[in-house]
Amino acid sequence: MPKVKETEILIVGGGPAGLSAASAAANLGASVLVLERDGKPGGQLIKQTHKFFGSKKQYAGDRGYQIGDLLIEQCRNNPNLEVWTDTTVLGIYEDGVVTAEGQGKHLKITPKKIIVATGASEKMIAFPNNDLPGIYGAGAVQTLMNVHGIVPGKRVLMIGAGNIGLIVSYQLMQAGVEIAAIIEAAPTIGGYLVHASKIRRAGVPILTSHTITEAYGDEGVEGAIICKLDESWQPVLGSEQDLKVDVVCLAVGLSPLTELCFQADCQMKYVPELSGHVPVRSEYLETTRPGLYVAGDVSGVEEASSAMVEGRLAGISAACSLGYGEDIAPKLQAEALAELSELRAGPAGQKTLRGIINLMDKGGVVC
């Protein structure tokens, strides 16, 4: 391998956004390199057993892992495109050099454009004994169960009734694990109600306005105490319940994985509706550092369907800025933007839309 790897477009992260960006850019003729820290590309898609929502354009009706396989296949068949797995990007330097660690080597890459599609990381919540073995992030349960085929335990308390909490509960049930309850501190279920209904009708209680007050056990989780919350989110005295569970699964939200954006000196802004600090970017997903684009959860936590469309948009925009597909790029960009508006048009997308308006607003505190 040469000392410095040259590529036209470097994509950081091989999840739904990164892979979609890669094939979109490569299809227009750009040379593309995708760096993925895991041993297999596909990101969280490969752990999803449920059928996706959206429309045909976002592969609705196919299961997440099937969509993952499809995106991987599209990338594999493209001669302009390389995917390096087991490779972690370390830094983006002022002179445009990107460094990475892979196969035990320190790698240097000089791309003309960069698309950061690093995704998000899971949030944690504070309660006594939240460090006991048997307490997992929902992503860990998915990895263990749907990648390695190993169940985390016998009986689970799920914290969080957003889409991830609901989906992972369903996946646990499919793997033969009992769900003692799904609890949610908010007064209403945050995830799609069809997910909630299919779990509820199988006999799993979904308790809104409930929280965990502690987990207990010596060398691992043996149980957890939950309680009701009143309208001001305060514990209701005497409402405690002791659940005998050996697993507590946390599905309490995601934060955009923006370290590289901060480090690359992109202008950042805290936008609660997008789940944390996100880079300020144009409609075509270019950040304030020219030539650096973002796509997927790193630009605001959303569904995988929109991550794929954002990826496509960033890929087309980056390729077009290098002079590829200038004739058709505007049409493709308009199509992607229309799909994003469509996906976000309903009540479920309002939060994201508010977040994006907030983000694009020139005023306010930025860092």
Q: Which of residues 48-77 bind another protein (CB under 8 A)?
A: 49-56, 60-63, 65-66
Closest contact distance (angstroms) between CB of 193 and another protein is 4
Please, which residue, 174 or 282, has the CB nearer to another protein?
A: 174
Amino acid at 113: K
Rg (CA), the chain: 21
- For another protein, the binding residues in 120-139 under the rule CB under 8 A are 121-122, 131-137, 139
Binding-site member from 144, 225, 243, 353 for another protein (CB under 8 A)? 144
Residue 202 engages another protein in binding (rule: CB under 8 A): yes
CA 284, CA 320: separation in Å to the nearest integer?
11
| Contact pattern from residue 178 through residue 197 relative to another protein, giving x for each residue in contact according to CB under 8 A and a dash for the rest | ---------xxx--xxxxxx
Residue 38 engages another protein in binding (rule: CB under 8 A): yes
CA 205, CA 216: separation in Å to the nearest integer?
21
Let me know: does 130 contact 215? Beta carbons within 8 Å: yes
The phi and psi torsions of 11 (rounded to 5 degrees) equal -115, 125
Judged by CB under 8 A, how many residues of this single chain contact another protein?
A: 72
Q: Looking up tokens 């994003």, which residue turns up?
A: 340
How many angstroms from the chain centroid is the CA of residue 166?
16
Please, which residue, 34 or 343, has the CB nearer to another protein?
A: 343
Residue 174 engages another protein in binding (rule: CB under 8 A): yes
Please, which residue, 247 or 318, has the CB nearer to another protein?
A: 247
User: Residue 292 is encoded by which pair of tokens?
Assistant: 């650096």
Closest contact distance (angstroms) between CB of 344 and another protein is 8
Residue 32 engages another protein in binding (rule: CB under 8 A): no
Residue 343 engages another protein in binding (rule: CB under 8 A): yes
**3-class DSSP assignment, residue 91:** strand
Please, which residue, 62 or 291, has the CB nearer to another protein?
A: 62
Residue 238 engages another protein in binding (rule: CB under 8 A): no
Let me know: does 146 contact 49? Beta carbons within 8 Å: yes
- For another protein, the binding residues in 150-169 under the rule CB under 8 A are 150-152
**3-class DSSP assignment, residue 139:** helix
Closest contact distance (angstroms) between CB of 2 and another protein is 27
Let me know: does 117 contact 252? Beta carbons within 8 Å: no
Let me know: does 222 contact 195? Beta carbons within 8 Å: no
Instruction: Choose among 103, 22, 47, 44: nearest CA to 301.
Output: 44
Please, which residue, 163 or 287, has the CB nearer to another protein?
A: 163
- For another protein, the binding residues in 278-307 under the rule CB under 8 A are 305
Let me know: does 355 contact 331? Beta carbons within 8 Å: no
Closest contact distance (angstroms) between CB of 114 and another protein is 22
Q: Looking up tokens 């569904």, which residue turns up?
A: 303
Among the residue ranges 35-43, 74-82, 229-237, 268-276, the one whose residues contact another protein (CB under 8 A): 35-43
**3-class DSSP assignment, residue 182:** strand
Residue 324 engages another protein in binding (rule: CB under 8 A): no
Among the residue ranges 43-51, 72-80, 97-105, 232-240, the one whose residues contact another protein (CB under 8 A): 43-51
Instruction: Choose among 290, 294, 296: nearest CA to 321.
Output: 290
- For another protein, the binding residues in 242-261 under the rule CB under 8 A are none
Binding-site member from 71, 199, 292, 336 for another protein (CB under 8 A)? 199
